[in-house]
Amino acid sequence: MKILNRMHNEWSRNKRFRIGVVCIAVILSAYGYLLLDDWESRLKITYYQKLDMAVRLEQLSVRTDWLKHEKSAGAVVIQLESKLWRAESRGLAQAKTQIWIETLLKTHGVENPRISVKPAKLSETVSRVWEVAAKVDAAVNLNDLHRLLKSIEGSGHIVAIEQLDIVQARYGRMEMTLKTYFHAESV
């Protein structure tokens, strides 16, 4: 009770105390208002996101062509799987990649290439698929390089060139990093 009496006396006698308390109250009120405004904004964003999701789900629920989409997706999967290389083991996948690259380079007149092929590993993005990464460093004629790239593109298998660096002009060096993809017979 003494504390309340002292505060009441201070309030009635000290003008700076009253101004300070009012300023603190105004600052706390403004801070509370800003917190409420941020909370309201987050609530609105969440509400509109959920409303948008509900509208999209409603639109999807009335569609009747799911079986057609399933069949077309299945056809695409079969088409892509037919382009995967085949190997019974990871070692054979690595060996097939090495032999394919050597044959391809020899066919296009690339002499003394340095080829390093990494062991096959399971793909992180596609199930039951092995990735085999290879790096090729060789001297190459630009005309031969163009034909070489066309041969890789037309190989009939899934091959991704991740990096291709060409140094010098007409007779230069190329560094190429590529990946071949194999159907994982045994995981």
pLDDT tens for 77-113 read 788 888 888 888 899 999 999 999 999 999 988 888 9
pTM value is: 0.60
Contact call for residues 97 and 149 (beta carbons, < 8 A): no
Q: 133-155, pLDDT tens digit by residue?
A: 999 999 888 777 888 889 999 88
Share of the chain above pLDDT 90, in %: 45
Highest mean pLDDT, choosing among 4-18, 28-42, 59-73, 129-143: 28-42
Q: Which of 16, 187, 178, 13 is nearest to 97 (CA)?
A: 178
Q: Rounded distance, CA 163 to CA 127, Å?
A: 24
- Across the chain, mean pLDDT equals 88
Question: If 0-12 CB within 10 Å is exposed, 13-18 middle and 19+ buried, where does residue 101 land?
Answer: buried
Model pLDDT, residue 5? 85
Q: 44-73, pLDDT tens digit by residue?
A: 999 999 999 999 998 888 877 777 777 788
CA angle in degrees (0–180, nearest 5) for 83-86-91:
135
Checking if the pLDDT of 132 tops 90, the result is yes
